[in-house]
Amino acid sequence: MGRTAGRSPQDTRRALLDAAGEAIRTRGVNATLDEIARHAGVSKGGLIYHFASKDELILELARDLLASFRAQVENRLDPADTEPGRLTRAYVRALLAPTEDEVVARKSMALITQLMTIPAVAELVDADTRQLNAELHADGLPPDVMTLVTATADGVSSAPLWGESSTGPEIRQLERRLIQLTRQPGLWQELPWEE
């Protein structure tokens, strides 16, 4: 049988990547090629045509997830905002905003930890993280405030990993306050810290 009517090869590729994500999310790395293919409406042979091996599929999936996360941060960049800390603000919005997209993002980030046992993927993630971290450090904020803000964002977004998440208004308040700290770092730095 040949190509299914009404779907371009690009679409098939995407469907395979999505199916792989879905499968690994629920069944871990032991997810079968057959399972993934079937879930994408393709046979195993079809999958292999697009991705020569399972490792390649997984590597591509990791690349895809990383790129998607990056895009989500960049989408939150305010073009009108040219003050120091603009990337940090986008980062906070990306991690704390409860959009439908965000839920997928969180799940996806969780997914990546499963993939890290493959050396090539670990390297990729490491490089990507280093890059983003460097950019955040070069965002013009005092390091201590930047660290506080991003660490908190990381913590909130990693919470659903271990259980349920509180998407309530408390998170919105926290988001507003974190962003305000990036606008007025002095608020934090000039608190009457003992010692």
Contact positions vs its own copies (CB under 8 A): 26-30, 110, 112-114, 117, 125-126, 129-130, 133, 143-144, 147-148, 150-156, 158-159, 161-164, 166, 170, 173-174, 176-177, 180, 187, 191-195
Report d(CA 160, CA 107) in Å as an integer: 8
Binding residue for DNA, selected from 22, 25, 48, 63, defined by CB under 7 A: 48
Q: Taking a C-beta distance cutoff of 8 angstroms, is the pair 121, 161 a contact? A: no
- The interface partner of residue 53, options being DNA, its own copies, none and the CB cut-off 5 to 8 Å by kind, is DNA
Q: Which residue has 């009108």 as its token pair?
A: 80
28 or 186: CB nearest DNA: 28
18 or 102: CB nearest DNA: 18
46 binds DNA (CB under 7 A): yes
55 binds DNA (CB under 7 A): yes
Cβ burial of 85 (10 Å; 0-12, 13-18, 19+) is: buried
Q: Taking a C-beta distance cutoff of 8 angstroms, is the pair 110, 28 a contact? A: no
- The interface partner of residue 110, options being DNA, its own copies, none and the CB cut-off 5 to 8 Å by kind, is its own copies
Considering only CA atoms, which of 103, 97, 125, 128 is closest in space to residue 112? 125
- 159 contacts: CB under 8 Å, gap ≥ 6: 165, 166
Q: Taking a C-beta distance cutoff of 8 angstroms, is the pair 181, 148 a contact? A: yes
1 or 191: CB nearest DNA: 1
58 or 105: CB nearest DNA: 58
